[in-house]
A and B are shown apart, each in its own frame.
Chain A
């Protein structure tokens, strides 16, 4: 177990989530007779969940700052239908429509951020109002009808990396992307190691580093293979690219920038943050605004994928996004949470959905199971924290550890 911990770093929580994810994949792969890990299904999984995962990125920032946003589904629907109308009626190119959509999201976010940060109304209330308000606006603008979007708009929701270069039997760009990711991870790891050595801090032994890299890069290589060998015309999906860029950008912002530090500080102890010179109101405003921009983006991706915007787009998205964030280890009281954790939490939920669907489990049971998973994941967490242990996955880890130990014995 110590070896495992070494390989995946000190954060048992994150390791535990990834472990849970791998477990689910294997579990469903066996139960569905191998349909889970097919190119079609994995591409489907990404396309069908990218908008929830994008919402989860915004939501984790909101929750770290100690707030909540219930309006994301309605905001997504409002921005989606506005952009669909603008592109259809004003005749602007799709990319202009998308830029307008992001600006519209920013505007909505500024509205909600204003009430939360500067008037001081709890975000729960402001966004509950927003949930009604923007749902109503969606239906008012669309007259409760469905508004179609043109083909080139659909790229951001249903597009794939194009086929270029020699015919290798694989999608060349997907392969390149995979190779680039692997190269970046190896380079980053080695650079970090060097920097740590220069500081005189402890570094992992070489075998640990190599094992870790082999495992991570192996997983990426396999995913690349799956994405590159899909049905002709499909490959790594465009929403997946957007998601990957957002994860990298927001992961960096939260962990390495001054703004990121300030978000954690405000969520952890607002008064202490203010007395350290953090402009807490500005931070509150920014996270709320950012959330609505991402909600607008998610809404547009969904519209693009379903080729039209409708009056019931985005219903219930807020709950999926919030569930992803909490499964991913964020604290209700704020100050705790990570972007990567929330993405993994969202993937766990997505895999559950997908696997149960493949097994032809009905929507009734799927909801029951998802509800219980959310409850159990957070309950383990709360229990383990009260016992002074690290978290969920202390438990998963412990079981895992004892199994390997008995095997070894």
Chain B
């Protein structure tokens, strides 16, 4: 730890230990946050970051953990969130806690309404919310329902809500996970602005480039223990240094070695056009053309909302959108896929970006999930052969190295990376020719990412085509043989692996097709 900074300490968490039945989630964790700094907490999924923040914010009340929270030079004993908020500690969770049907203003003052004789004083609330919105750089009318503004703005409303509680320490859990590049940058700038006004922030994020950009210090947590605290400026911290701390070893390469063996074009989409499911005159895909060769990993780059997921899902059995037109040619023949079943029968697989709400039945166990998209493969005369099901699941558990005591374990208990392996197993068992992976490593920690990349490359080596949709350009650059860019529903360009850079991809992702 460097001694150059002389700012006083705002918060010190001393040897925090938190146990759940059978698990020690935190063990002797120390965290020291100085006044008016941005302090990042990094660690793999399950390392204990969120648990630590729940201890700090009173979700786990005083007495349910060991150790001391010293805040503003006093040992605190928060009984609940209310107590920590009264002290000026506000946590903004990954899943936003806004009520979509209520207006911006109503949300800002929810639970904290300005009242006179028990009656809400809306004119005062309106005045104050204008001021608060201005402080976070929003110009929207405070009466706008929250559901009508985008996720990026919703995040800002959350911060305005925190400012209204005279926040001194703002905790943000993965604040930019759902935001596009522009909104993320805006949020990060806002945090820097708040820092200038003396507000301290703790930020939990997987996006290491953002942390490198704005954090003053970084505490790394691994397996429930605080490993080290880095001073970003003094220690010259970069992403590789953070990863080394998080995984406990340096990763020579973030991608496994892979020699592509690319065959002929076998899948081609021409003039693919899709209308929005509710707004019919809004096109989410406009005449897109692309093709995939055997054994090829094709990346799709685009900003959030550019139409990548819409393109994939409309192709996959018309599971999204209306008035879908265009042709799909597979192995030289035009094919129609009007239902998901037909798409699967034609050899397509689609792994969704939203694993929990679209990809998994969280009530199921691993073996049921593994065979869910290909029950025919384990059944005879529509009767499921449970022995065969067990064998199949067991094979995939071994070959994908899924970490679980048994394939009869519920999928809800698995970590993100292992859940993704189960989902991959489910689609691999349908034996697809073309597998579309939508954000395959979202919410997955660094070590598991490496394994998922390996699985993707193995599939390609078996002669399958793989489409990878990702918001992380380094991932696309490291994995893909060819990258298409999408902007506002149109394919704006295609670059070969050797020609692609973050800069020229970004240019194509943000601009309309050039005159060429």
A272 near B344 (CB under 8 angstroms)? no
Kindly list chain A residues whose C-beta atoms are within 8 Å of the C-beta of B352. 275
Alpha-carbon distance between A276 and B352 when the two chains are bound, in angstroms: 11
Listed stretches A127-135, A256-264, A397-405; interface member:
A256-264
A261-B368, A261-B384, A279-B341 given as contacts; is B363 within 8 A of A272 (CB)? no
| One of B350, B382, B391 near A258 (C-beta < 8 A) | B382
Cβ distance A290 to chain B, nearest Cβ, rounded Å: 16
Interface: A335 (CB within 8 A): yes
B319 near A256 (CB under 8 angstroms)? no
Alpha-carbon distance between A276 and B339 when the two chains are bound, in angstroms: 11
Kindly list chain A residues whose C-beta atoms are within 8 Å of the C-beta of B359. 272, 275
| One of B341, B383, B386, B387 near A277 (C-beta < 8 A) | B341
A276 near B384 (CB under 8 angstroms)? no
A257 near B383 (CB under 8 angstroms)? yes
Interface: B119 (CB within 8 A): no
| One of A199, A279, A335 near B390 (C-beta < 8 A) | A199
- Main secondary structure, interface of A, reads helix
A277 near B382 (CB under 8 angstroms)? no
Interface: A162 (CB within 8 A): no
| One of B341, B362, B383 near A268 (C-beta < 8 A) | B362
Interface: A201 (CB within 8 A): yes
Interface: B379 (CB within 8 A): yes
Interface: B21 (CB within 8 A): yes
Question: Smallest CB-CB separation from A198: which chain B residue?
Answer: B387
Kindly list chain B residues whose C-beta atoms are within 8 Å of the C-beta of A271. 357-358
| One of B350, B376, B382 near A275 (C-beta < 8 A) | B350
A195-B387, A199-B391, A276-B373 given as contacts; is B364 within 8 A of A268 (CB)? yes
A265 near B372 (CB under 8 angstroms)? yes
Alpha-carbon distance between A31 and B357 when the two chains are bound, in angstroms: 51
Interface: B188 (CB within 8 A): no
| One of A199, A260, A265, A273 near B387 (C-beta < 8 A) | A199
Interface: B426 (CB within 8 A): yes
Cβ distance B197 to chain A, nearest Cβ, rounded Å: 41
How would residues 83 to 121 of chain B score, 1 for a CB under 8 Å from any chain A CB and 0 otherwise? 000000000000000000000000000000000000000
Alpha-carbon distance between A274 and B350 when the two chains are bound, in angstroms: 12
Interface: B151 (CB within 8 A): no
Kindly list chain A residues whose C-beta atoms are within 8 Å of the C-beta of B21. 388
B375 near A275 (CB under 8 angstroms)? no
Q: Which residue among B344, B359, B363 has the maximum number of chain A CB atoms within 10 Å of its CB?
A: B363
B372 near A276 (CB under 8 angstroms)? yes
Alpha-carbon distance between A276 and B386 when the two chains are bound, in angstroms: 19
A268-B361, A271-B358 given as contacts; is B340 within 8 A of A277 (CB)? yes
How would residues 272 to 299 of chain B score, 1 for a CB under 8 Å from any chain A CB and 0 otherwise? 0000000000000000000000000000
Question: Smallest CB-CB separation from B384: which chain A residue?
Answer: A256
Kindly list chain A residues whose C-beta atoms are within 8 Å of the C-beta of B364. 264-265, 268
Interface: A336 (CB within 8 A): yes
A257-B382, A258-B375, A274-B340 given as contacts; is B361 within 8 A of A265 (CB)? yes
B386 near A272 (CB under 8 angstroms)? no
Which residues of A approach B to under 8 Å, CB–CB? 195, 199, 201, 256-262, 264-265, 268-269, 271-279, 335-336, 388
16 residue pairs bridging A and B, Cβ less than 8 Å apart: A195-B387, A257-B384, A258-B375, A258-B376, A258-B382, A261-B375, A265-B364, A269-B360, A271-B357, A272-B359, A277-B317, A277-B340, A277-B344, A278-B340, A279-B341, A336-B363
